[in-house]
């Protein structure tokens, strides 16, 4: 049974890298982007160069971000987020890499410095001119009031601190993610279709290095054929009992 196989992998792994996607947060009420009812089914993304070039596109961007602002702000971690924290407490978590922008891993108890956010975060807005970060609430309120792009005190455009389509990832975050995977003994991909690059390259790197790949996701992913085990289902239902099994067997949690 795939669940037993994954439990066996977790038992013998001491340097687990967890890669999370939107499917980890759907149980917290955060919609995914690419599923049948995902955001991109009713919205077209505003590309970064469009944001820079057009006030009309900036307004479109801010309208979309304000639409879901309270949903992200008020969301709470679910059992999957908490299970990953437990892996960290057992000293089995080598690194946590996320494609999510919701900050729920930190709300669940992960230190900010322990989370590699490949696609940035919704927890801050940042100035595209001076780089200053600030709480998003005032910018959201300002946009809702006047329907114009919020600006920094320096005059630069404000944008949520997420990576938009066409915007480069932070090179240091990508480098840290690759280094973490290369130092793992298990890459556990959770709730991701593994279709968005460069994050989708991480499982390929792992397998090329002889590192075991395990996937838990509702529906197929683009890397299923590389996995030692693939479980089709809800991460928030599958992962927590497996981690609880490790906790209830202290002899399994000791480090070599």
**178, 199 in Cβ contact below 8 A?**
no
The C-alpha atoms of residue 106 and residue 170 are separated, in whole angstroms, by 19
Average confidence (pLDDT) over 100-128: 96
With bands split at pLDDT 50, 70 and 90, how would you rate the model's confidence at 234? very high
Q: What confidence score (pLDDT) does residue 255 get?
A: 44
Catalytic residue annotation: 119
Strand 186-190 to 212-217 pairing? parallel
**214, 235 in Cβ contact below 8 A?**
no
Candidates 3.40.920.10, 3.40.50.720, 3.90.870.10, 3.40.50.1220; CATH matching 1-30+77-119+169-256: 3.40.50.1220
Instruction: With a cut of 70, say whether residue 41 has pLDDT above it.
Output: no
SS3 state at 191: coil
Domains in the chain: boundaries: 1-30+77-119+169-256, 31-74+120-162
Report the candidate in 65, 163, 77, 46 with the shortest Cα–Cα distance to residue 116.
Answer: 163
Cβ partners under 8 Å of residue 194, min gap 6:
21, 200, 203, 215, 217, 221, 222, 223
Query: What pTM did the predictor assign?
Result: 0.91
Q: What confidence score (pLDDT) does residue 256 get?
A: 40
Percentage above 70 pLDDT, the chain: 93
Cβ partners under 8 Å of residue 231, min gap 6:
2, 3, 6, 214, 215, 216, 217, 238
Q: What confidence score (pLDDT) does residue 247 get?
A: 85
Q: State the CATH architecture for 31-74+120-162.
A: 2-Layer Sandwich (3.30)
pLDDT tens, position by position, 188-232: 999 999 999 999 999 999 999 999 999 999 999 999 999 999 999
The C-alpha atoms of residue 33 and residue 35 are separated, in whole angstroms, by 6
Average confidence (pLDDT) over 14-23: 96
């Amino acid at each position: 049974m795939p669940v037993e196989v994954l439990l066996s992998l977790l038992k013998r792994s001491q340097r687990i890298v967890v890669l999370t996607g939107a499917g980890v947060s759907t149980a917290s009420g955060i919609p995914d982007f690419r599923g049948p009812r995902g955001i991109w089914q009713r919205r077209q993304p505003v590309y970064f160069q469009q944001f820079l070039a057009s006030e009309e596109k900036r307004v479109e961007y801010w309208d979309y971000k304000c639409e879901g602002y309270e949903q992200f702000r008020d969301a709470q971690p679910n059992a999957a987020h908490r299970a990953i924290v437990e892996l960290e407490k057992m000293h089995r978590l080598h690194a946590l890499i996320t494609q999510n922008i919701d900050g729920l891993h930190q709300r669940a108890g992960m230190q900010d410095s322990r989370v590699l956010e490949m696609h940035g975060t919704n927890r801050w807005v940042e100035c595209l001119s001076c780089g200053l970060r600030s709480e998003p609430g005032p910018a959201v309120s300002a946009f809702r009031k006047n329907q114009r792009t919020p600006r920094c005190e320096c005059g630069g455009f404000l944008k949520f601190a997420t990576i938009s389509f066409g915007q480069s990832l932070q090179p240091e975050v990508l480098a840290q993610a690759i280094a973490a995977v290369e130092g793992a003994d298990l890459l556990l991909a959770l709730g991701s279709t593994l279709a968005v690059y460069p994050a989708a390259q991480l499982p390929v790197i792992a397998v090329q290095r002889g590192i075991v790949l395990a996937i838990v996701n509702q529906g197929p992913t683009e890397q299923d054929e590389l996995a030692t085990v693939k479980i089709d289902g809800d991460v928030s239902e599958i992962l927590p009992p497996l981690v609880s099994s490790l906790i209830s067997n202290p002899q399994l949690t000791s480090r070599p």
